[in-house]
Amino acid sequence: MAFQSKRRRNLIRVNFMVLIGFLLLTPQAMAQAPADAQAPEKAEQGTDPFAVPEGATAEELMKFIASVKQKRGRTMESVTKAATSAVAGAEAIRQLKDVPEPMQLAAIREEIAALTFLSRMNPAMKTKMTNLMKELETSSNPTLARLGKMEAFKSKIASAGRGTAEEQKVIIGEFKTMVGDKGLDRESYSLGTTLARSLSSNAELAASFYDQLADMMLASKDEAIKSRADNTRGAARRMRLMGNEMEITGTITTGEEFDWASYRGKTVLVDFWASWCGPCRAEVPNMKEQLALYGEQGFAIVGINLDNTLDACDKYVAQENLDWPNLFSKKEGEQGWNNPLVQYYGVSGIPTAILVDKEGKVVSLRARGQELNRLLKELLGEPQGKVETAAE
């Protein structure tokens, strides 16, 4: 029964995320819909607001897609109806001639998003999705064919983490072939970073791919992509930390230089966090508990704070009575995601919790929750400390 309950929760979570993906207007669609593409307050009497308008232009159909999504409501029935209409509107655009390519792409992305949601419940829509992917991949239009290949590649990425090392290498090769001489654009860059993260269970392969991805980024014609190459190179550095020493330099919130060498001989949790990060805050009670249990045995915590202001960090530290140091740079432009250590280790999501043993070697890149507890017991034995309760 426990397995069935977990499976049911996972299915609900998957469907919810797919639903959210459909509900959000894609940036491309927002760009292609006219500025006045707002749903009217009331539909004209006698008309069905979910019916595709006959004889409409591509621009009018994009306006229609935006409109039905705004009318989607909050029930599964109403969202399904809106998604079905979005598919029909996108199909109508694909039937028109001389549609500008950017608008074609925007319509197809809307269709894919809606079909991804609908195909979870409707076999006919799953067939539509399969046919659309085949049509795109075999298109004589290189841009559409590339889009089709990218969409098909997403499913491979989703399962890459469960594959063997050889299978993962094949997927990397396919990605590099797909990027080809054209180089990275924003879509292929997004696929590449997702693939790199999915390989994290194979740290060395992930590191190697992050390095290759950084090289591709430096060669990109997109300056925004090029500017993130150092961060990606940092992610490769982070992947290679296992079994090696971690470098930490900077100043703590009080303005003093941080002395990393003084932590040698201790087991240290290095926690990248921010006060605005819900999952980070959720980890705090367990971190405090483990510190109470293992503090006398040499366990310590060091925070790397990603708040945009020192005040936000200090307020949370005081509120939660956190008695460990937090690194925070007061130099202009080095706050938040621009924290030098965040860049150096290519941190792209928080909390990121790295555990360092008494010899100064990294033993885990994911030391959160029960995994932290397990590792501390393995490294330090049974806890000798005591957790104080409110009654005490």
Q: 362 - beta bridge partners?
A: 242, 356
Q: Which of 186, 202, 237 is the last residue of a domain?
A: 237
The answer on 208 and 77 residing in a single domain is yes
Check residue 40 and give left, alpha or beta (phi > 0: left; psi -120 to 50: alpha): beta
Residue 67 near residue 47, CB atoms below 8 Å:
no
95-114 mean pLDDT: 92
364-389 mean pLDDT: 93
The answer on 328 and 232 residing in a single domain is no
The answer on 178 and 115 residing in a single domain is yes
The answer on 102 and 192 residing in a single domain is yes
Q: Is residue 251 part of a domain?
A: no
Q: Specify the length of the chain in residues.
A: 392
The answer on 220 and 144 residing in a single domain is yes
Domain count, the chain: 2
Show the domain range for 185.
15-25+50-237
Q: Is residue 3 part of a domain?
A: no
pLDDT at position 365 is 95
The answer on 293 and 213 residing in a single domain is no
Banded pLDDT at 306 (limits 50, 70, 90): very high
- CATH code, domain carrying 271: 3.40.30.10
Q: Is residue 138 part of a domain?
A: yes
Report the distance separating Cα 322 and Cα 121, nearest Å: 47
Banded pLDDT at 261 (limits 50, 70, 90): very high
Q: Is residue 151's pLDDT more than 60?
A: yes
CA angle 128-131-135, nearest 5°? 135
The answer on 203 and 106 residing in a single domain is yes
3-state per-residue secondary structure call for the chain:
CHHHHHHHHHHHHHHHHHHHHHHCCCHHHHHHCCCCCCCCCCCCCCCCCCCCCCCCCHHHHHHHHHHHHHCCCCCHHHHHHHHHHHHHHHHHHHHCCCCCHHHHHHHHHHHHHHHHHHCCCCHHHHHHHHHHHHHHHCCCCHHHHHHHHHHHHHHHHHHHCCCCHHHHHHHHHHHHHHHHHHCCCHHHHHHHHHHHHHCCCCHHHHHHHHHHHHHHHHCCCCHHHHCCHHHHHHHHHHHCCECCECCCCCEECCCCECCHHHHCCCEEEEEEECCCCHHHHHHHHHHHHHHHHHHHHCEEEEEEECCCCHHHHHHHHHHHCCCCCEECCCCCCCCHHHCHHHHHCCCCCCCEEEEECCCCEEEECCCCHHHHHHHHHHHHCCCCCCCCCCCC
C-alpha of 190 from chain center: 10
Banded pLDDT at 8 (limits 50, 70, 90): very low
Q: Beta 352-356 vs 362-364: how paired, if at all? A: antiparallel
Q: Which amino acid is at 311?
A: D
The answer on 309 and 167 residing in a single domain is no
Q: Is residue 95 part of a domain?
A: yes
Helix 101-118 × helix 76-95 angle, to 10°: 150
The answer on 93 and 128 residing in a single domain is yes
Q: Which two tokens stand for residue 230?
A: 């150092």
If one counts every other C-beta atom within 10 angstroms of the C-beta of residue 289, the result is: 15
pLDDT at position 14 is 41
103-114 mean pLDDT: 92
Q: Which amino acid is at 102?
A: P
pLDDT at position 155 is 77
Q: Which of 191, 222, 237 is the last residue of a domain?
A: 237
Q: Is residue 226 part of a domain?
A: yes
The answer on 270 and 181 residing in a single domain is no
- CATH code, domain carrying 135: 1.25.40
Banded pLDDT at 58 (limits 50, 70, 90): very high
